Chains A and B, each alone.
Chain A
Amino acid sequence: MTQPASPARPVTEKSAPADGDPGPWRSLAARVDVRTLSLLGVLAALVVIGGVTEPEAFLDTDNLQLILTQASVIGVVTVGMTFVIISGGIDLSVGAIVALASVWATTVATQDYGFAGILFTAVVVGLGCGLVNGLLIAYGGMVPFIATLAMLASGRGLALEITDGKTQMVTVDGVLKLGERDSYVLGIPPLVLVFAAVTAVGWLLLNRTTFGRRSVAVGGNAEAARLAGIDVRRQRLYLYLLSGLCCGIAAFLLIILAGSGQNTNGNLYELDAIAAAIIGGTLLSGGRGTITGSVLGVLIFTTITNIFALNNLETAVQQIAKGAIIVAAVLVQRRSATT
Chain B
Amino acid sequence: MAPEPPLLTMSGITKSFPGVRALDGVDLRVQAGEVHCLLGQNGAGKSTLIKVLAGAHQPDGGTIAWRGDEVTLRSPIAAMRLGIATIYQELDLVEGLSVAENVFLGHEPTTAGFVVRGRDARAAAGALLKRLGHGEIDPARLVGDLSAAQQQIVSMARALSHEVRLIVMDEPSAALDPDEVDNLFRIVGDLTADGVAVVYISHRLEEIRRIGDRVTVLKDGRAVAVGLPAKETPTRAVIALMTGRNVEYVFPDRPKPPARPPAPVLVVQGLAREGEFEPLDLELRPGEIVGLAGLVGSGRSEILETIYGARKPTRGQVRLEGRVLRPGSVRAAVRAGLGLAPEERKAQGLLMLESVTRNVSVSSMSRFSYGGWVDRGKELRAAREATRELSLRPDNPAVPVRTLSGGNQQKAVLARWLLRGCRVLLLDEPTRGVDVGARAELYTVIRRLADEGLAVLLVSSEVPEVLGLADRVLVLREGRVVHTAPAEDLDEHRVLDLVLASGRHGPEPADLASTGSASTGPASTGPGTTGPGTTDPGTTDPETTDPATTEGSPAS
Contact = CB atoms under 8 A, between A and B. Distances in A.
B416 interface: yes
Contacts of A28: none
B398 A21 contact: yes
A176 to B, nearest CB: 37
A319 interface: no
A210 B454 CA distance: 28
B369 A224 contact: no
A287 B355 CA distance: 12
B35 interface: no
Interface stretch (B142-150, B346-354, B541-549): B346-354
B377 interface: yes
A228 B281 CA distance: 25
Contacts of A221: 347-348, 350-352
B389 interface: yes
Interface string A282-301: 00000110000000000000
Interface string A267-291: 0000000000000000000011000
A227 B353 CA distance: 17
B349 A224 contact: yes
Contacts of B352: 220-221
A229 B374 contact: no
A223 B389 CA distance: 27
Contacts, number: 123
B454 A220 contact: no
B348 A4 contact: no
Contact of A2 (B369, B373, B418): B418
Interface string B371-386: 0111011001110111
Nearest to B368: A5
A21 B355 CA distance: 12
B347 A224 contact: yes
A229 B351 contact: no
A217 interface: yes
Given A5-B419, A230-B362, A20 B353 contact: no
Nearest to B398: A20
A1 interface: yes
Given A208-B374, A225-B362, A230-B362, A4 B419 contact: yes
Interface string A206-226: 001111011011001101111
A169 to B, nearest CB: 41
Contacts of A225: 351, 362
A2 B453 CA distance: 8
Contacts of B381: 11
A258 B380 CA distance: 48
B340 interface: yes
Interface of A: 1-5, 9, 11, 16, 18-21, 208-211, 213-214, 216-217, 220-221, 223-231, 287-288
27 contacts: A1-B454, A2-B418, A4-B382, A4-B385, A4-B386, A5-B367, A5-B382, A5-B419, A9-B385, A16-B380, A18-B396, A20-B380, A20-B396, A20-B397, A20-B399, A21-B377, A208-B374, A210-B369, A213-B361, A213-B374, A216-B354, A223-B347, A224-B342, A224-B349, A226-B310, A227-B330, A228-B363
Given A5-B385, A224-B351, 20 more contacts: A2-B422, A4-B385, A4-B419, A5-B382, A9-B385, A20-B357, A208-B373, A208-B374, A209-B369, A210-B365, A210-B366, A210-B369, A214-B365, A216-B351, A216-B354, A217-B351, A224-B347, A224-B348, A224-B349, A229-B333
> Which 5 pairs from chain A and chain B are nearest by CB?
A20-B398, A229-B334, A5-B382, A220-B351, A210-B365
